[in-house]
Chain A
């Protein structure tokens, strides 16, 4: 049998997933699939990142990358903390403002429409610009509409490394550090409209050396800005701190070994159609690379930030955290996935069990494990009376679309016992990107409703996401 990949679940998420009656009641009311979010956990995760910053005596703001989840409850809960929010569209900006997050705590990033730029400037949020033309366009809007001066950060890219050449994937975003002159020119020309706050990067990698080179590159650019008479105050290190999805590293190691064996034909396949997740067999040799998220990560989230800040700058031979502080800069960050660790789950109902195939009332857009390459088992929540324990079974998980490719995961998953129609399969720790990032309504199948749940004394309370406000029910406990 292929090994389990049991999700890491702790704290409140563990406790509510153990409340089987509550879960069944929610699903009976609102249907399958159903998204569950835990706003209080987001606030706790914010504190963990802030604690890491403070350990380096650094000031700065944790901006939650909104794109990772659409929930209103999460954003409203965020409003009660000291954190900020990173919005990447006009809709996200409106959502954040409407949730009560003040413009001083909002950062607008990503590709921007004119409307998005206008509302950002009008309300006075910080604009994280991707390019020089974007800054010029923003300055034009500010001047034409007589808006107040806008605080801007410039995203940089194409960082060089010292000593060794650290290769990095090319990015479509950011001003190349090798050609910053146009940036200084536009900032200088529009000093009345643009208030340069600092440099930013966001790299799509889990490699610390690349990020260290990027942070160092930003500091160099900011030193140049100082020489040119700007007064930069903060550096933004973007997102990408990662989540450890699995409870046990040995399961991950065992599973990847089994996959290697299966691809090489040394054991029967453990995936749909012998899918190799990027690995190939070429004449008995293993080729390609495992194209999945490294589901077990020993260092993720705040610990990853700590690792980055403890990394020594190659040019200045000093930990990067100390170097940022020496320069009196604040350090901003934009974690998405990592801030949503343990903040939610997708609940699905088992519709049919037949021939090693379990069909659930949800599809691979509702639970985006495959799209994001995250491999882990669902949790089986049986319905009704306890049944005799028949022992573990291996099954494939199919979705509710009439497409051959609609598998929730192409892994064959191991369940502790055979599921039955009416049981729930719960995909835990899916709040970051795996919940509603790509959900649509293909085939007019129902899209998931979202409920927010919180502790009330010893019980769980829950309501529809859009009806959640941080005041709901809490005064009663006071």
Chain B
């Protein structure tokens, strides 16, 4: 297959059947619409491209900045497209909550503006919230912005009216599925697809999935927030149901472990929400039915989201030589030396002085002649064994003598004969009037 531009690859994604042995529905064929195969990784590639493609030429001439309220996939797609066309992209967001996406956007050259938190000492007369203000700035004509406005832009829906929806019908041999299940973010994909399917067959059941109120699933809205979405029309859906982040992760695990589908949380949520809904109808069916759900994007960007919620999935082998495994006896036996003792010892035996504080603090002030190995790095080094000779005595220092005592105990356990901790740490050293230098 040959293409002139990567944007030509957007769309035409496969529809893949989920094995009955996995979903357990007896009378329903369940298909996944694999939006994760879009070139920039998600269903939002379609909307992003459709919202900007006719406006790119003029924007490039004027040097406009593409701007969108997004902290996820729309931002990613727009950043790539803007880059391809010599434009800058600015993403305005409430909070960048997914660090991998944030890093990727920075890598793509995007500028990210995070809106401020809520006022702690409230002025209730001030209803001019930062988001509204931002909206006015970027929407003004001639302001130098190409604002894609995904939550209100009909071109977002149109991308799916012309692409996603008809593709599903074509792949089902010209028939609409009986059930269509999708997560709702801007509502663009679900609205576009639902309209096409209903036009084809008014009996299609459309299920919209949102997050619970205090829950968070990246990419979709919660039960209240969905009302802020300009494209959201309650009439589109036969039912709106909440899906929890827990269910989304369960679904994600099923898709990635059993279906060869590396789906992100909303793909998982759509799968789990679909099976939950369909299980209710399956039992009463006498003939075969078809259902389609959307897998919006890929799992790789959500490692920290998953680690935070399911740390047990990332079970790591116990570490050798870790301060966390020290016993109370080992800690109590750690050798310490007070400021006066340390001064004398340094004079006589010149121990290696290791300062465990951050380089930033070390640069400002430290004990003369010390080397700086910040504690996490030191712990990492010790996993491989003693990083210095047993014949050289070692004085460990940290701010208050807590961490250094633990490392002295660990070095002792590892066979070092003379590792000591400065008791009271650099603070005691400073307070005793002993010399601190900066190089």
Contacts and interface: CB of A to CB of B under 8 A. Distances in A.
Contacts of A179: none
A323 interface: yes
The 10 closest A-B pairs by CB, nearest first: A207-B117, A326-B361, A289-B129, A326-B357, A164-B112, A240-B120, A373-B122, A327-B361, A205-B117, A325-B399
A288 B132 contact: yes
A318 B132 contact: no
B340 interface: no
Given A164-B113, A164-B114, A291-B129, A326 B227 contact: no
Contacts of B130: 167, 169
A161 B96 CA distance: 13
B360 A210 contact: no
Given A165-B112, A291-B122, A291-B126, A316 B230 contact: no
B358 A326 contact: yes
Contacts of B359: 316
A226 interface: yes
Contact of A292 (B122, B362, B364, B427): B122
Given A278-B127, A322-B358, 11 more contacts: A163-B102, A163-B112, A206-B117, A210-B116, A223-B363, A227-B364, A240-B120, A288-B127, A289-B129, A291-B127, A293-B122
A166 interface: yes
A253 B214 CA distance: 8
Given A286-B227, A326-B399, A278 B129 contact: yes
B19 interface: no
Interface in A67-114: none
B432 to A, nearest CB: 13
A31 interface: no
B95 A323 contact: no
Interface string A309-326: 000000110100011011
Contact of B224 (A166, A256, A326): A256
13 contacts: A59-B427, A169-B130, A205-B117, A223-B360, A249-B214, A260-B224, A286-B228, A289-B127, A322-B358, A325-B399, A328-B426, A371-B124, A372-B124
Contacts of B430: 328
Contact of B114 (A165, A293, A327): A165
Contacts of B95: 209
Contact of B364 (A226, A260, A316): A226
A208 B118 CA distance: 10
B426 to A, nearest CB: 6
A204 B114 contact: no
B131 interface: yes
B389 interface: no
B326 interface: no
B398 to A, nearest CB: 8
Nearest to B229: A285
B121 interface: yes
Select the residue from B120, B230, B358, B363 with max chain A CB neighbours within 10 A.
B120
B115 A167 contact: yes
Contacts of B348: none
Contacts of B199: none
A408 B400 CA distance: 51
A57 interface: yes
B368 interface: no
Contacts of A337: 120
Contacts of B112: 163-165
A370 interface: yes
A114 to B, nearest CB: 27
A287 interface: yes
Interface string A154-174: 000000010111111100000
Contact of A257 (B115, B119, B126, B223): B223
A347 interface: no
Contacts of B399: 57, 325-326, 328
Contact of A208 (B113, B117, B213, B357): B117
A110 to B, nearest CB: 13
B365 interface: yes
Contacts of B376: 318
Interface residues of A, number: 56
B240 interface: no
B114 A289 contact: no
Interface residues of B, number: 49
A382 B80 CA distance: 66
A266 B152 CA distance: 21
Interface in B390-439: 399-400, 402, 426-427, 430, 438
Interface of B: 95-96, 102, 106, 111-122, 124, 126-127, 129-132, 213-214, 223-224, 227-230, 357-365, 374, 376, 399-400, 402, 426-427, 430, 438
Contact of B402 (A57, A253, A318, A371): A57
Nearest to B94: A207
Contact of B360 (A167, A240, A287, A326): A326
Interface of A (DSSP majority class)? loop
B238 to A, nearest CB: 18
Interface of A: 57, 59, 161, 163-169, 204-210, 219, 223, 226-227, 239-240, 242, 249, 253, 256-257, 260, 264, 277-278, 285-289, 291-294, 315-316, 318, 322-323, 325-328, 337, 370-373, 433
Contacts of B365: 226, 328
Contact of A167 (B116, B227, B438): B116
A72 to B, nearest CB: 23
A59 B426 CA distance: 13
Given A226-B438, A323-B358, A328-B426, A292 B124 contact: yes
Given A325-B400, A326-B358, A326-B360, A167 B124 contact: no
B306 to A, nearest CB: 19
A363 B131 CA distance: 34
A410 to B, nearest CB: 10
Given A328-B365, A373-B122, A285 B358 contact: no
Contact of A318 (B111, B228, B374): B374
A367 to B, nearest CB: 15
A286 B438 CA distance: 57
B227 A260 contact: yes
Contacts of A327: 357, 360-361, 364
B120 A204 contact: yes
Contacts of A169: 116, 119, 130
Given A164-B96, A206-B118, A260-B227, A289 B131 contact: yes
B175 to A, nearest CB: 34
A292 B121 CA distance: 10
B421 to A, nearest CB: 14
A164 B102 contact: yes
A372 B430 CA distance: 45
Nearest to A243: B120
Given A206-B117, A260-B227, A373-B124, A328 B129 contact: no
A269 to B, nearest CB: 17
Contacts of A286: 227-228
Nearest to B127: A278
A123 B124 CA distance: 38
A222 B72 CA distance: 36
A2 B402 CA distance: 53
Nearest to A166: B114
Nearest to B431: A328
B106 A328 contact: no
Contacts of B102: 163-164
Contacts of B132: 287-289
A327 B400 CA distance: 11
Contacts of B224: 256-257, 260
A209 B114 contact: yes
Nearest to B375: A322
A328 B116 contact: no
Given A226-B365, A257-B224, A291 B117 contact: no
A257 B120 CA distance: 22
